[in-house]
Amino acid sequence: LAKTTQPISMDSYEGQEVNITCSHNNIATNDYITWYQQFPSQGPRFIIQGYKTKVTNEVASLFIPADRKSSTLSLPRVSLSDTAVYYCLVGDKASGTYKYIFGTGTRLKVLA
């Protein structure tokens, strides 16, 4: 069962780059790494997903080293609206379908 470990909380200032690292030592060969963002009283929202090396989209970058036992979500130039909880997920595949296990997430607070 793949589990993830993230820092509980982080503070940053507007305009800075934020890097959130996730540890997933037991990741399986076919597992992808997915990051979600959640605002209070809302469902989590997909940010980015990757398998290895680097993935970039319009909102974030995801860095995955060769051993895939960790990953780093990078948010460039954060704003106050990026204040949220960020979850790193690794799929737990069983019976042909994935069961995603959420950790406690990282509470990011962006300060003015």
Partner 1 sequence: DAGVTQSPTHLIKTRGQQVTLRCSPKSGHDTVSWYQQALGQGPQFIFQYYEEEERQRGNFPDRFSGHQFPNYSSELNVNALLLGDSALYLCASSTRMKSSGANVLTFGAGSRLTVL
Residues lying near partner 1 in the complex (CB under 8 A) are found at 30, 32, 34, 36, 41-46, 49, 51, 85, 87, 91, 93-105
Provide, rounded to whole angstroms, the least separation between the CB of residue 104 and partner 1.
5
The whole-angstrom separation of Cα 10 and Cα 110 is: 9
The whole-angstrom separation of Cα 106 and Cα 81 is: 15
Token pair of 4 as six digits: 């993830």
Pick the closer one to partner 1 by CB: 94 or 112: 94
Provide, rounded to whole angstroms, the least separation between the CB of residue 66 and partner 1.
19
Name the DSSP letter for residue 102: -
Pick the closer one to partner 1 by CB: 99 or 109: 99
Provide, rounded to whole angstroms, the least separation between the CB of residue 12 and partner 1.
21
Pick the closer one to partner 1 by CB: 81 or 97: 97
Query: Any bridge partners for residue 72, and if so which?
Result: 21, 63
Token pair of 99 as six digits: 């069961």
Token pair of 22 as six digits: 């996730």
